[in-house]
Structure 1
Amino acid sequence: MEYLVFVNEYLHEMNLVTIIFRIVCAVVAGTIIGIDRSEKRRVAGYKTHAIVCLGAALVMLTGEYIFRQYGGSGDLARLGAQVISGVGFLGVGTIIVTGNNQVKGLTTAASLWTCSCIGLAIGIGFYSGALASVAALLLIFRYFKLINYYVNKHLRAVEVYIELESAQYISGFLEFIREKDCKVSSFEIGPARMKDEGISILATIETGRMRTCTDVLELLRSIPGIRTVEEYNC
């Protein structure tokens, strides 16, 4: 027990060994977090996460160095605050809007921001908080899919992208929805992807009668005049 106490106290000192240790921990933590994003072919993968975590740790090490070197005249929190706000430009770069107005990359942006916070924690020597955060983030990446599956399975509203052969089928589409005891809560008309006479519809449909998202999609595919039905959140 005394040995563990000694190691803990030593790792919170400011020397070459602890500096290298914190930098290595930051790179490892960022890499572990980024592996999940790399497996999903996201824009920001393990290298980006590792670099962000490393940079954040270095900022906190620099802040602690200034604090110790100049007799407490530096503000440790100031540099860290700039990292938390400044890393936002990376997050914005990972968020894209697809051709169907579907937003992607929010999870990757959030993981980058959290990765920078973990780097700050490691850089100042808050190892327990950083380790717990890495574990929590991995749990979210790996096992929250089950929650997502359950939620999508029991959705009572579904966002869909639909392509119709022509505008004359819109009234039939809306009438079919009403007959099936569903409700269209949002509705937007635009051109189809193919430059022809077809049109596209972005709609949010409230399912009603305890139907599942999959049931509604099957109903939509049976409507005359519909060429394509794609789900957003199923």
Structure 2
Amino acid sequence: MADPWYIDNVHILLRLLLSVLLGGLVGLERERSNHAAGLRTHILVCMGSTLIIMLSIYGFSEFVHEVNIRIDPARLASAVITGIGFLGAGTILFTGKSITGLTTAASVWVIAAVGLSIGAGFYFASIAATFLILLTLVVFNKLEQRYIRGSKLHLVTVYAISEPQLLESISGLLEGEGITVKKAIVNERSNVAYGELQPPSTTLEISLNVLSKRAFDPLALASRIRKLEGISMVSID
């Protein structure tokens, strides 16, 4: 293409298809990991960015030689980078104990940059960036989980009938698993069955914010806590 302000239909289709391919590769990894922004989201973001930058560069080519008309191909690109942050923010969740979705938000933002690069004709940069994105999401994630990731915060909720030494038993069990209790909330409730004359029983709702330095099996831990005297329900997040 000798004219920098002109693009033919073949190259338009090529760039759109490449954006679908590269956006789909990153989206597929997010989809397999069961994240909010998955395959279709990444494809649409990448293809939309490609279309917008092509519109910015080539869509107003008829006005290039007009007097007092100044064409700035980067203007719509900067708007895309800013605007895509709102979509990324929708994938970030605050659960009360931790923030999740930051990596997916970053992948949506960077795939928009890949789409802009494709639309501008930077094919090598787009393909190389996609490879590095996948390397970061897949390989680095495994390295982080195995070697780098520090302590992780969990929420343990226990419902139980009030028993002597119950809290001490739970604390000892968690300590034996290498889990540190950072915060504990204990709520008491008195339950009296309708028509019963016997003294009311006291039910405890125990919420524990715990810190674990290594991965553990939530089901196995819940099973061990459940075996303690008076425990009726255990939840681990």
- TM, length-normalised to structure 2: 0.69
Q: Deviations over 1:184-209 (max 9, x none)?
A: 5x425377xxxx6322112336x6xx
| 1:136 positional shift | 0.7
Residue matched to 1:18: 11
Alignment of 1:4-83 (within 5 A): 14-16=6-8, 17-65=10-58, 68=61, 69-71=63-65, 73-83=70-80
CA distance in 2, matches of 1:27, 1:53: 7
- Structure 1 pair 47–201 and aligned structure 2 pair: CA distance change class (3 A): same
Name stretches of at least 5 consecutive residues in structure 2 with no aligned partner. 188-202
| RMSD, matched Cα | 3.8
CA distance in 2, matches of 1:118, 1:20: 16
- Structure 1 pair 130–10 and aligned structure 2 pair: CA distance change class (3 A): farther
Matched, 1:103 2:99: yes
SS of equivalent to 1:15: coil
Alignment of 1:151-230 (within 5 A): 151=147, 155=150, 157-165=151-159, 169-170=166-167, 184=181, 186-187=182-183, 189=185, 197-204=204-211, 212-214=214-216, 228=234, 230=236
- Structure 1 pair 214–20 and aligned structure 2 pair: CA distance change class (3 A): closer
Matched, 1:136 2:132: yes
Quick one: which amino acid aligns to residue 96 of structure 1?
A: L
Work out whether residues 7 and 58 of structure 2, in 8 Å CA contact, stay in contact via their aligned partners in 1.
no
Quick one: which amino acid aligns to residue 56 of structure 1?
A: S
Larger radius of gyration: 2
CA distance in 2, matches of 1:182, 1:39: 30
CA distance in 1, matches of 2:117, 2:177: 54
- Structure 1 pair 106–147 and aligned structure 2 pair: CA distance change class (3 A): same
Quick one: which amino acid aligns to residue 137 of structure 1?
A: I
Quick one: which amino acid aligns to residue 114 of structure 1?
A: V
Matched, 1:124 2:117: no
Flag the structure with higher strand content: 2
Identity %, equivalent residues: 29
Name stretches of at least 5 consecutive residues in structure 1 with no aligned partner. 1-8
CA distance in 2, matches of 1:181, 1:73: 65
SS of equivalent to 2:90: helix
| 1:122 positional shift | 0.8
Flag the structure with higher helix content: 1
- Structure 1 pair 183–198 and aligned structure 2 pair: CA distance change class (3 A): closer
CA distance in 2, matches of 1:133, 1:77: 20
